[in-house]
Amino acid sequence: MIYINGSAVDFQMISRRYPQRGIEYSCASALSGSDTAYRYGSIDELDFELAARHAIVDRAERLRRCGLSFQTFRSAVCNDRYWVRRADGGFEVRRGASPSAAIRDIYENGRMYGTECATAMQLVY
């Protein structure tokens, strides 16, 4: 159930705010139908959470499609134009490289990368 400013909100009332086949709509529907109480101080807070959930799903889907492979830390690989692979298998942005360009490169050239799921989760977030 969704509560806004202390009052229960009917899903039909808020469903018009979101595209019917969109992530926000699906999430709002799931939150509304849940036995758990989801409390927001305003509709803007709900909108923010649903937009964040949409972005997480979108980035996860993009990461799935980019060709990145899952590896152990020992087998991790990266594009050395942007990253330095540390001895522990972690990636460090190469000195002089733009961190945002380095992250974009993973999504654009995913086949050059292999990492474990903890790093992949950080890329999504």
Q: At CB < 8 A and 24+ separation, what contacts does 46-52 make?
A: 46/2, 46/4, 46/14, 47/17, 50/18, 50/23, 50/24, 51/24
- pLDDT value of position 62: 93
Residue 19 is predicted with a pLDDT of 87
pLDDT of residue 82: 98
Strand, coil or helix: what is 47?
Answer: helix
- Block means of pLDDT (10 residues each) for the chain, 125 residues, are 94 88 92 95 95 94 93 93 92 96 96 91 89
